[in-house]
Structure formats: structure tokens, C-alpha cells
Structure 1
Amino acid sequence: MGDGTPARGAGRRKALLVPLLPLLLLIGCATGTEPSGAGAAGGGGATGKPAAERWQPEPGVDWQWQLSGRLDTDVDVPVYDIDGFDQDAETVARLHREGRKVICYLSTGAWEDFRPDAEEFPASVRGRSNGWEGEWWLDIRRTDVLEPLMEARIEMCARKGFDAVEPDNMDGYLNDTGFPLTAADQLRYNRLIARIAHGHGMAVGLKNDLPQIPELVGDFDFAVNEQCAQYGECAELTPFIEAGKAVFHAEYELPVSDFCAESRRLELSSLLKKYELGVWRRTC
């Protein structure tokens, strides 16, 4: 992805949301449908590290998020979030030698026609466009198809030495996907992704999906959020902070003067980025 191209995962809030009342009904119906603690961060996978041994980013830690352009490894921060397909094991090792932790960006809820494994996704699981070129929502109910594909992607991150996974498009049930996805479907799928990441010894972040934070904070090791300040939602991420887990937060359209005071109060790890998620950043 070259500079100037919309970043994969950036600005997901521009996708169409379902009306509020049906959403609330879906969430209400989902309450109690998932086994308590399923896939919770407290347990390690069969081949993964116990929770106490996984990386656990703490509130307020600084970070860099770069998904486009030539990677600049000279930003003086302890955490990098970079594309899992585009970056190789040597890049991860170099960042580790410099004392950085490294997060693997993947799309787990949308099909991308430009990825090397694109042909392995049957047409039956591809829905409507998510608003970004070359991307379509996935039918997350079809775990029989998607679980082995996501296992392979997350294993790739582990093989390259990443410390954590940022799974994107984890809120399809809030969008016009072409499938009748429910809040219960999303909880089940998000927990599946968390279990896979933990099974490979990596931490995992909850991307957006604010309504389900109370149900999912125990399953995930940190959160990644876009534009909570612009939409007046940053306080909804407090459960992660109260659990001692970082919230990596990015704004695109607000000046830092509009959100940094609140970010510091809430202990968010906040950045101002451009939509292409290149090198450029402004921090609080």
C-alpha cells in the first residue's frame, strides 16, 4: 500500500451503522448467551504462554501506528503497530533489538483481495464492501471456514516474532455486511480470535466494538480505538484502563488541543494520525 492510499483499518467509523434500537435489542439478546469467561485472557492456549507471561501493555504507554509507506523504525516509542503481511521477521527482530514491542495488524473481519491468501476465502463468506477499496465484510458465523484461515494468519504473526495481534474489522454486527450478524455472533467470533492469539503466546487487542467492551475486556489484553474523542465515546474504554490494560487511541480529524487533555485524564495512549497511517504522527 503506497502513501496516500486509505489505510487498512483506518476510519472504520465511516461505515454504515445499524439503527440504535435494533442494536440495543441485539446486545440485550446476546447477554448471557456466551459461556462465562470463554476464551478469557486468564488462560493460555495449549501451545501458548500463560496469561502472566504474555506481554501486557499498561495504560499510557506511547506507541507508533504505521500501516503504509516505508517503515520508519526511528520513532522513539516502546510500541510499534505494523502490518503483519507487509513486514518480515527481520523487521520485527530489529525493533526487538531496539527494545520495542511489536503488534501485528491483521484484518480478521473483512476479506481483502490484495492479500496472498485471498483465494482461500470462498465467495460464500464474502459480503458487502466495508467502504475501503478491495475489502468486503466476512460472514463471521462461518467459523468452520474462517477459523483455520485466521489460525494461519495469526500463526504467521507468531512465526515472525510479533508480541501481539491487532485484529481489525471486529464490529461487523454494527455494519451493513450483507449478513444478518448479531451481537452474539460477534462476541463468539471475537473470543475465538482472542483464543487463537493467546494459543500462540501473543497478546491481542479489541479493535473498536465499544458496545461489547464490558463483555470482552476479560478476553483481550488491550484495546485499539479510532476517533472516540470525535464521537464523545472515550469514557467507554475505561474498563480496559481500570483492568490495567492499555488503550491505543488515534484521532484523524481533531487537533491535539481538542482531545489530549481528556486523553491524559483517561490514561489513553493517544495519537493524531492521517488516514493513510503513514509515518506522520502527533502525540499528547
Structure 2
Amino acid sequence: MYSSIVQTLAVVASLAAYSVDATALRRSTKRLSQGTSWTLEAWGYDDKSKGYMIDIDLQTKSKDYVKSLANGGQYVVCYFSAGTAEDWRPDYLAMMEYASQNSRYPGEHWMDITRWSSFKHLIKARMEEAVEKGCHGIETDNTDAYEYGSTAVKGETKESLKPYQIAYLRWMADTAHDLGLEIALKNTVDLIPDLIDHMDYAINESCAKFSANSYCSNYEAFVKQDKAVFGVEYNTNGDCKDAQAEGIMRKYKNSNGNQWVNC
């Protein structure tokens, strides 16, 4: 009987070691470095480019679709909202138990990030879905609730929400890494100093639009670590000299267009 117990423990230890090794291998085989090309499919506009990284919606795309992309040599980033409950998602009712107030978009409600540790199991479930489908990385959107203060969580301010936002994002990064996923920092440029060592790449919307505040220059921290920075602008004439200088792989959409165009 003793011998049987020893053999069982040895098998368990072997499986555990294999799991750790497999996770490390998964994260080390493909990386998103500066200058990585990309295709943006997740946000509702056409993108006819064929980039190395492709950003898709986690919950509306099948495992077979993800596999086809990976087999074609692409690095697959799977998008989901980590900061809002969306009424078209399958786990909407579960998310709404922890929601606070209406978001700025129809059908969305801000999550109460002061309670992030209570709904983290729902976010982890989404990450596990990403792993099961074969995604290489994730894009966790709407992680800027702190910027909206009481508009996002009643009775709170930007400063009171900031520590919750940082803790939540660090937990997401650690959990993603434990699962063998890479993770993007989405927007939240003023949190870069707190999160640069936790995040693997960055995705930004409209930093050039707010260039008076030097938003784009905040990504220098990612550039110095050779981490990819992806960006989009919704209204531009396609002048991308600033993006190239700042290490941002940018796409833009003309104001009346329905297609992403590479800079």
C-alpha cells in the first residue's frame, strides 16, 4: 500500500511539473514585440490586413476558428470586457450581480470595481475559456472605470477608485500568466508606471486625439522593454508620423468609413 501511495504522489508531482512547464512554454513560444503587425477584427469594423497578431472577440468566436488562425501562423488575442456587464453576453446576469451604474454605452453597466474580488471568478472563467479555445493572449477592455469616479461607482472618486483598479489589473495579469496567457494593458495610460512590469503589450484608443496631454508618449515604458503597442484613431487623415516615432502600430478609420487602415 505504501508503494502505491508513493507511486500516486510521483504521478501527481509529474503532472504538476508538466502543467508548470506547459504554461511556461505556452508563454515563451510567441511574444508580441515592438513593430508587430496586427489585424483588428474585434471592434466591429472591417480589417483586410493580414497581421501576425489578430484581435478577435472571445465569446462570439469558436474554438475551431481560433485554431484555424493559430494554424495559419497568427498570434490570437481574445477580447472581452473586464469592466462592464454587457447585455448580449452569455454571463450577463451573473455579471449584473456586481454591476454599479449605466456605462456610457447602451446595454452596458459598469462593474463595481470596489468589489472586484467578489466577481473575479467570472473574469477567471473568461480567461479559462480563452485558454480552452487556444487564444495566445487577451485584451481586457473597460478597465478605466476609475477615471469616471462617481459616474462609474456611486459615491467614489477617481482617486478612491484608483487603488482598486490597480489591484484588479495586477490580479488579472497574474491570473492570465498562471494560465499561460499574455495580457494587454488597454488604455489607462496614467497607470502605466504601476503596471508596466505586469503587462505584456498595450492597446490604445485615441491617444493621438488627446495629444495635447502627451498621452501617446506614456507608452515609452513599453517601447523600452520591447513590448508591442497597438493603437487606433477613429477620426484622422492617416498621418502617422507621431505613431512611428512613438513605437505605436496604429490603425485609423476615416470618420465616415467602415474599415481599419494601417498607418
State the TM-score bracket (shorter-chain normalisation): 0.7 to 0.9
For 1:237, what is the secondary structure of its paired residue? helix
Question: What residue in structure 1 maps to residue 63 of structure 2?
Answer: 89
Deviation at 1:144, TM superposition (A): 3.6
The 1:231–1:84 alpha-carbon spacing in structure 2 relative to 1, beyond 3 Å, is same
Q: CA–CA distance in 1 between the matches of 2:26 and 2:64?
A: 26
Question: Is the Cα–Cα contact under 8 Å of residues 27 and 181 in structure 2 kept in the other structure?
Answer: no
For 2:34, what is the secondary structure of its paired residue? coil
- Structure 1 window deviating more from structure 2 (47-56 vs 136-145): it is 47-56
For 1:86, what is the secondary structure of its paired residue? coil
Deviation at 1:146, TM superposition (A): 1.2
Question: What residue in structure 2 maps to residue 56 of structure 1?
Answer: 31
Question: What residue in structure 1 maps to residue 198 of structure 2?
Answer: 219
- Alignment of 1:103 onto 2:86: no
- Alignment of 1:134 onto 2:116: no
Match for 2:130: what amino acid?
A: C
Q: CA–CA distance in 2 between the matches of 1:84 and 1:243?
A: 27
Deviation at 1:244, TM superposition (A): 0.8
Counterpart pick for 1:192 among 165, 171, 180: 171
Counterpart pick for 1:248 among 210, 222, 230: 230
Question: What residue in structure 2 maps to residue 146 of structure 1?
Answer: 119
Question: Is the Cα–Cα contact under 8 Å of residues 26 and 181 in structure 2 kept in the other structure?
Answer: no
Q: What are structure 1's unaligned runs of at least 5 residues?
A: 1-43
The runs of 4+ residues in structure 1 deviating greater than 2 Å are: 44-52, 67-72, 273-278
Considering Cα pairs closer than 8 Å and 6+ residues apart, tell me whether 1 or 2 has the greater RCO. 1
The 1:256–1:274 alpha-carbon spacing in structure 2 relative to 1, beyond 3 Å, is closer
The 1:275–1:253 alpha-carbon spacing in structure 2 relative to 1, beyond 3 Å, is closer
Question: What residue in structure 2 maps to residue 67 of structure 1?
Answer: 42
Q: CA–CA distance in 1 between the matches of 2:44 and 2:253?
A: 14
For 1:103, what is the secondary structure of its paired residue? strand
Deviation at 1:92, TM superposition (A): 0.9
Q: CA–CA distance in 1 between the matches of 2:108 and 2:257?
A: 17
For 1:58, what is the secondary structure of its paired residue? coil
Question: What residue in structure 1 maps to residue 90 of structure 2?
Answer: 116
Question: Is the Cα–Cα contact under 8 Å of residues 100 and 109 in structure 2 kept in the other structure?
Answer: yes
Q: What is the CA deviation profile of residues 54-99 of structure 1, one whole-angstrom value per residue up to 9, with x for unaligned ones?
A: 6320112111111256987x63211110100011111111111221
Match for 1:189: what amino acid?
A: Y
Q: CA–CA distance in 1 between the matches of 2:173 and 2:254?
A: 28
Match for 1:219: what amino acid?
A: H
Give percent identity, aligned residues only: 28
Match for 2:178: what amino acid?
A: G
Question: What residue in structure 1 maps to residue 241 of structure 2?
Answer: 261
Deviation at 1:171, TM superposition (A): 1.1
Q: CA–CA distance in 1 between the matches of 2:216 and 2:248?
A: 9
Question: What residue in structure 2 maps to residue 158 of structure 1?
Answer: 131
The structure with the largest alpha-carbon Rg is 2
Deviation at 1:273, TM superposition (A): 3.2
Question: What residue in structure 2 maps to residue 36 of structure 1?
Answer: none
Match for 1:186: what amino acid?
A: Q
Question: Is the Cα–Cα contact under 8 Å of residues 114 and 161 in structure 2 kept in the other structure?
Answer: no
How high is the TM-score relative to the length of structure 2? 0.82
Match for 1:273: what amino acid?
A: K
For 1:120, what is the secondary structure of its paired residue? helix
Q: What is the CA deviation profile of residues 19-74 of structure 1, one whole-angstrom value per residue up to 9, with x for unaligned ones?
A: xxxxxxxxxxxxxxxxxxxxxxxxx98983279626320112111111256987x6
Q: What are structure 2's unaligned runs of at least 5 residues?
A: 1-18
For 2:114, what is the secondary structure of its paired residue? coil
For 2:24, what is the secondary structure of its paired residue? coil
Question: Is the Cα–Cα contact under 8 Å of residues 56 and 222 in structure 1 kept in the other structure?
Answer: no
Match for 1:126: what amino acid?
A: A
The 1:76–1:51 alpha-carbon spacing in structure 2 relative to 1, beyond 3 Å, is closer
- Alignment of 1:282 onto 2:261: yes
